[in-house]
A and B are shown apart, each in its own frame.
Chain A
Amino acid sequence: MTTSPINVREMAKITICLTVVCILAGLILGAVFAVTEPTRLMRAQVGEQQLVRRILELPANAEIMEIRRFLSEGPDPQIAYTLQSEVRIYDVEGKLVSATPISERATAEQILETRLPHARRGGRFFVAKIKDGSIAGYVTESEQYGFKSFIRFFVALTPDFQVRGVEVVAHEEDPGLGAEITRPLFKNQFSGRSQASLEQLKVVKGPLPKAMEDLYLSRENTMFHDWLQTNAHVLKDARQGPIYGVTGATISSQALADGVKKAVHHLGTRLTIIGLTGGSHE
Chain B
Amino acid sequence: MSEHPPLPPKNRELIWRGLFSENPVFRLALSLCPAVAVTSSMKNGFLMGVAVLAVQVLSSMTVAIARNFIHDKVRIPVYTIVIAVWVSVIDMVCAAVAPEIYAQIGLYIKLIVAFAIIISRLEVFASKFAFLPSTIDGFGMGLGFCFAMVLIGAFREVIGNGSIWGIELIPIKPLLLFILPAGGFFTIGLLMAAMNWIDVKRGGKLPTLGGGHG
Contact B96 A21 (CB under 8 A): no
Chain A positions 24-77 with a Cβ under 8 Å from a chain B Cβ: 25, 28-29, 32-33, 36-37, 39-40, 43-44, 47
**What's the minimum C-beta distance from B73 to chain A, rounded to whole angstroms?**
6
Chain B positions 64-111 with a Cβ under 8 Å from a chain A Cβ: 69-71, 73-74, 77-78, 81-82, 84-85, 88-89, 92-93, 95-97, 99
Closest to A40 in B: B96
Contact B78 A36 (CB under 8 A): no
Task: List the interface of chain A (C-beta within 8 A of B).
Answer: 10, 13-14, 17-18, 21-22, 25, 28-29, 32-33, 36-37, 39-40, 43-44, 47
A22 and B70 CA atoms in complex are apart in Å by 12
Contact A36 B92 (CB under 8 A): yes
Pick the contact of B97: A22, A33, A39, A47 (CB < 8 A).
Answer: A39
Given contacts A21-B81, A22-B81, A29-B88, contact A37 B96 (CB under 8 A): yes
- With a cutoff of 8 Å between Cβ atoms, the chain B residues found around residue A47 in the complex are 99
Contact B74 A43 (CB under 8 A): no
Chain B positions 44-72 with a Cβ under 8 Å from a chain A Cβ: 69-71
Pick the contact of A25: B70, B73, B81 (CB < 8 A).
Answer: B81
- With a cutoff of 8 Å between Cβ atoms, the chain A residues found around residue B74 in the complex are 14, 17-18
**What's the minimum C-beta distance from A272 to chain B, rounded to whole angstroms?**
35
Given contacts A14-B71, A14-B73, contact A39 B89 (CB under 8 A): no
Contact A43 B81 (CB under 8 A): no
Task: List the interface of chain B (C-beta within 8 A of A).
Answer: 69-71, 73-74, 77-78, 81-82, 84-85, 88-89, 92-93, 95-97, 99
Contact A39 B71 (CB under 8 A): no
- With a cutoff of 8 Å between Cβ atoms, the chain A residues found around residue B78 in the complex are 17-18, 21
Given contacts A39-B97, A40-B96, A43-B96, contact A29 B81 (CB under 8 A): no
Contact A29 B73 (CB under 8 A): no
A40 and B91 CA atoms in complex are apart in Å by 11
- With a cutoff of 8 Å between Cβ atoms, the chain A residues found around residue B99 in the complex are 40, 43-44, 47
Contact B92 A33 (CB under 8 A): yes
A64 and B82 CA atoms in complex are apart in Å by 44
A28 and B97 CA atoms in complex are apart in Å by 18
- With a cutoff of 8 Å between Cβ atoms, the chain A residues found around residue B97 in the complex are 36, 39
- With a cutoff of 8 Å between Cβ atoms, the chain B residues found around residue A32 in the complex are 88-89, 92-93
A21 and B81 CA atoms in complex are apart in Å by 8
- With a cutoff of 8 Å between Cβ atoms, the chain B residues found around residue A18 in the complex are 71, 74, 77-78
A37 and B74 CA atoms in complex are apart in Å by 32
- With a cutoff of 8 Å between Cβ atoms, the chain B residues found around residue A29 in the complex are 85, 88-89
7 nearest A-B residue pairs (beta carbon): A36-B96, A40-B96, A39-B96, A17-B71, A36-B92, A25-B85, A32-B89
A44 and B95 CA atoms in complex are apart in Å by 9
Closest to A46 in B: B99
A40 and B85 CA atoms in complex are apart in Å by 19
**What's the minimum C-beta distance from A235 to chain B, rounded to whole angstroms?**
29
A45 and B92 CA atoms in complex are apart in Å by 16
**What's the minimum C-beta distance from A178 to chain B, rounded to whole angstroms?**
15
Could you say which of B92, B96, B97 has the most chain A C-beta atoms within 10 Å of its C-beta?
A: B96
- Known: A13-B71, A18-B74, A28-B85; 14 extra A-B contacts, CB below 8 A, are A10-B73, A17-B78, A21-B78, A21-B81, A21-B82, A25-B85, A28-B89, A29-B88, A32-B92, A36-B96, A39-B96, A40-B95, A40-B96, A40-B99
Could you say which of A14, A36, A37 has the most chain B C-beta atoms within 10 Å of its C-beta?
A: A36
**What's the minimum C-beta distance from B112 to chain A, rounded to whole angstroms?**
15
- With a cutoff of 8 Å between Cβ atoms, the chain A residues found around residue B95 in the complex are 36, 40
**11 contacts across the A-B interface (CB closer than 8 A):** A14-B71, A14-B74, A17-B70, A17-B78, A18-B74, A29-B88, A32-B92, A39-B96, A40-B92, A40-B96, A43-B99
A130 and B123 CA atoms in complex are apart in Å by 62
**What's the minimum C-beta distance from B30 to chain A, rounded to whole angstroms?**
24
- With a cutoff of 8 Å between Cβ atoms, the chain B residues found around residue A43 in the complex are 96, 99
Given contacts A28-B89, A29-B85, A29-B89, contact A17 B69 (CB under 8 A): yes
A21 and B89 CA atoms in complex are apart in Å by 16
**What's the minimum C-beta distance from B165 to chain A, rounded to whole angstroms?**
18
- With a cutoff of 8 Å between Cβ atoms, the chain B residues found around residue A44 in the complex are 99
- With a cutoff of 8 Å between Cβ atoms, the chain B residues found around residue A28 in the complex are 85, 89
**What's the minimum C-beta distance from B121 to chain A, rounded to whole angstroms?**
19
A33 and B37 CA atoms in complex are apart in Å by 29
**What's the minimum C-beta distance from B133 to chain A, rounded to whole angstroms?**
23
**What's the minimum C-beta distance from B183 to chain A, rounded to whole angstroms?**
13
A29 and B89 CA atoms in complex are apart in Å by 7
